[in-house]
A and B are shown apart, each in its own frame.
Chain A
Amino acid sequence: DAKTTQPTSMDCAEGRAANLPCNHSTISGNEYVYWYRQIHSQGPQYIIHGLKNNETNEMASLIITEDRKSSTLILPHATLRDTAVYYCIVRVANSGNTPLVFGKGTRLSVIA
């Protein structure tokens, strides 16, 4: 699976949009971009995933560049409960039986 690069940490004001970038310049054509987050003392939680089109669900939006070498996770109205470590993971399609490999992630702090 391709490697990802994320900033170590970011701050965001409560109520504002949080934009978390991820670089995955070596991504292959059959690899998806996944985002998970880990709130302190909990197991990681699935947020969203995408292949090449932008995706949106009730938690977040995922914007993938046209060349697919980078992406941005957007939390439209960050709350204090969104404070967590966010992991961007690239993974081969249809690899449902292959475990996720975690990098260091981005520690997002939402500030009141």
Chain B
Amino acid sequence: SAVISQKPSRDICQRGTSLTIQCQVDSQVTMMFWYRQQPGQSLTLIATANQGSEATYESGFVIDKFPISRPNLTFSTLTVSNMSPEDSSIYLCSVVKKPYEQYFGPGTRLTVT
């Protein structure tokens, strides 16, 4: 299994500001994933973060809005930049530890006012 922690667990931010979300894993992993879950919706993949290379973004998500860092094999950050109320969501990081099991962090609940 994998133990994943995220900081902060929740935050309320003003529009136009930025928030950096941290994800820490209890062991080394090759890839980390960032998802967004808008209110009442399913999870949507934002990007895949490899250590030592640029993150790969899904359609509809861009680096300027969601810059990601992956400085080592146990840590990653996602920044939500220039926030608007539409960015109010739960943001989750995720890793694959076994060949077929993907684990998720507890999520960061973001409210933009």
The answer on A and B forming one complex is yes
Contact partners of A32 in chain B: CB under 8 A: 100
Interface size class of B (residues with CB under 8 A): 20 to 34
User: Which residue in chain A gives the minimum CB-CB distance to B109?
Assistant: A41
List the one stretch of A21-29, A74-82, A102-110 in contact with chain B.
A102-110
Shortest CB–CB separation between residue A65 and chain B, in angstroms? Answer: 21
Classify the secondary structure of A's interface with B.
loop
For A75-112 the 0/1 string (1 means CB < 8 A from B) is 00000000000010001011011011111110000000
Contact partners of B104 in chain A: CB under 8 A: 43-45
Contact partners of A43 in chain B: CB under 8 A: 4, 92, 94, 103-107
Q: Are B33 and A42 in contact (CB under 8 A)?
A: no
What's the count of A-B pairs with C-beta under 8 Å?
Answer: 51
Q: Is B69 interfacial (CB 8 A cutoff)?
A: no
CA distance A41 to B9 in the complex (A): 11
Q: Are B96 and A97 in contact (CB under 8 A)?
A: yes
Interface size class of A (residues with CB under 8 A): 20 to 34
Shortest CB–CB separation between residue A102 and chain B, in angstroms? Answer: 4
Contact partners of A100 in chain B: CB under 8 A: 94, 102
B binding-site residues for A, Cβ under 8 Å: 4, 30-31, 33, 35, 42-45, 48, 90, 92, 94, 96, 98-107, 109
A binding-site residues for B, Cβ under 8 Å: 32, 34, 41-46, 49, 87, 91, 93-94, 96-97, 99-105
A87-B42, A99-B94 are known; give 5 further A-B pairs, CB within 8 A: A43-B92, A43-B103, A44-B104, A99-B35, A100-B102
Q: Could you give 11 example pairs across A and B, Cβ below 8 Å?
A: A41-B109, A43-B104, A43-B105, A44-B43, A44-B92, A94-B99, A96-B98, A97-B96, A99-B35, A99-B102, A100-B102
